[in-house]
Amino acid sequence: MTILPVIPISPDQPDAVSTRRRPSMPPRHLADLDLAGRKAAVAGLGEPAFRAKQLSTHYFGRLVRDAAEMTDLPSATRDKLTTELLPTLLTPIREQACDDGATRKTLWRLHDGALVESVLMGYPDRITACVSSQAGCGMACPFCATGQQGLTRNLSVAEIVDQVVYLAGVAASGAVTGSPPRLSRVVFMGMGEPLANYPRVIEAVRRLIAPAPEGLGLSQRHITVSTVGLVPAMRRLIAEQLSVTLALSLHAPDDDLRDELVPVNQRWKVAEVLDAAFDYAAQTGRRVSIEYALIRDVNDQPWRADLLGRLLHGKLAHVNLIPLNPTPGSKWDASPKPVEREFVRRLREAGVATTVRDTRGREIDGACGQLAAGELTQAGAGAVAADAEVAQ
């Protein structure tokens, strides 16, 4: 592994990690508000409405997150607007790079001491940001590090958006060698269950797709929301008339096993969750991505591939197989390559488009959940022996 020099960040603050305060939502930030809301907020501070656009252009258009760099604002105004609309939401406490600088992971401390992480992945034709939607996660999937931590709290809209704006700034700086400088994709595959933080995630998506200066101007189809399968929230998403890509973390085609691997299956069964996913695909005209972490001797049997093939045959869906990122202390491991190949072969034979996800960032615990989990362990806030994988 080559750890490359990374962009400068503020020094480690070990006490900030161990000082765990009561979870609480952060102060308001401009990314919490749409343009009209920002205008109203600015007016409420006794400033002319055009300042809202000026601030927005800095933040969303130029990816400037620090008011000190907004030198066209008079300093008194700048101070006032900073306090009221640009509070620091994310403090970087660790940043690592691997894959020759093409993968970068940032561990953030939030205002209440909670930890979350984001990953930036560069490819020759695109750059993808993998962001967190919650601190911790309440879904308790046994193979996922974040799932072992439990839920600390939901992230605010701005805490989600600010991860993306930060990563877009890193991309724009040219730090990801061999990739275009523009961040083009966002996947909600970091810590947390996005649909369990539904209104804030949807609002964050709206901010990501709104054209600058209201938002970042990303294409909807380049945004992927990944879910364990919270059926009522999936149905709500269908009604939003958005066309973001939906990923469903299925991991097993049968209820017996899925009840164990994705405990929320005890509430919403495979058939029900697939129905909701297919309805989303029908509504948007976009294929849903069926995520399936291949776990040796657990869910990788040929009969399960065949069953999955039957469930998905003829549907607007494709399968994204994820080699399990084996977790220290866990009894589970990734499937051997020949088993993986046979699984792929059977799915394709059933007419189901299937890809195997790359395993970016493993060398830097690139898997979402793992770095924050390590910090929590060091801080004595709970030993976590599992791991989670980051998506592309």
Feature table: binding site: 137, 141, 144, 192-193, 226, 249-251, 325
Indicate the residue among 116 and 391 with the shorter CB distance to ligand SAH: 391
Q: What is the DSSP secondary-structure string of 241-282?
A: T---EEEEE---SSHHHHHHHSGGGGTS-HHHHHHHHHHHHH
Cβ at position 70, least distance to ligand SAH in Å: 34
Question: Which one of 9-17, 238-246, 324-332, 377-385 is the stretch in contact with ligand SAH (CB under 6 A)?
Answer: 324-332
- Is 214 in the active site? no
Question: Which one of 28-36, 59-67, 204-212, 383-391 is the stretch in contact with ligand SAH (CB under 6 A)?
Answer: 383-391
d(CA 365, CA 327): 10
- Tokens read off for 199: 């209104």
d(CA 174, CA 168): 10
Question: Which one of 6-14, 31-39, 135-143, 211-219 is the stretch in contact with ligand SAH (CB under 6 A)?
Answer: 135-143
Site string for ligand SAH, 281-320 (x = CB under 6 A): ----------x-x---------------------------
What are the C-alpha distances in Å from 181 to residues 70, 126, 176, 350? 22, 8, 8, 39
List binders of ligand SAH among 231-250 (CB under 6 A). 249
- Closest CB to ligand SAH: residue number: 389
What are the C-alpha distances in Å from 318 to residues 10, 159, 262, 286? 42, 31, 19, 10
- Tokens read off for 367: 């898997």
d(CA 113, CA 22): 8
- Tokens read off for 312: 């998905």
Please report, in range form, the residues annotated as the binding site for [4Fe-4S] cluster.
Answer: 137, 141, 144
Cβ at position 209, least distance to ligand SAH in Å: 20
List binders of ligand SAH among 140-159 (CB under 6 A). 141, 143-144
Which of 47, 214, 368, 375 is flagged as catalytic? 368
Q: Listing from the earlier edge strand, what are the strands of the sheet with 115-122?
A: 91-98, 103-109, 115-122, 127-130, 185-188, 223-227, 245-249, 288-294, 317-323, 353-356
Question: Which one of 16-24, 59-67, 139-147, 297-305 is the stretch in contact with ligand SAH (CB under 6 A)?
Answer: 139-147
- Per CB under 6 A, the list member of 56, 325, 354, 392 interacting with ligand SAH is 325
Question: Which one of 71-79, 136-144, 164-172, 201-209 is the stretch in contact with ligand SAH (CB under 6 A)?
Answer: 136-144
List binders of ligand SAH among 171-190 (CB under 6 A). 189
Cβ at position 348, least distance to ligand SAH in Å: 21
- Is 117 in the active site? yes
Indicate the residue among 209 and 388 with the shorter CB distance to ligand SAH: 388
Query: Does residue 257 belong to the site contacting ligand SAH (CB under 6 A)?
Result: no
Strand-pair partners of 248: 227, 290
CB 144 within 8 A of CB 60: no
- Per CB under 6 A, the list member of 118, 245, 327, 335 interacting with ligand SAH is 327
168 contacts: CB under 8 Å, gap ≥ 6: 63, 129, 182, 183, 216
The dihedral sign for the CA sequence 361, 362, 364, 368: positive
Which of 47, 95, 117, 214 is flagged as catalytic? 117
Look-up: residue for tokens 């049997």? 301
What amino acid positions are annotated as catalytic residues? 117, 368
Binding site for ligand SAH (CB under 6 A): 139, 141, 143-144, 189, 193, 226-228, 249, 291, 293, 322, 324-325, 327, 387-389, 391
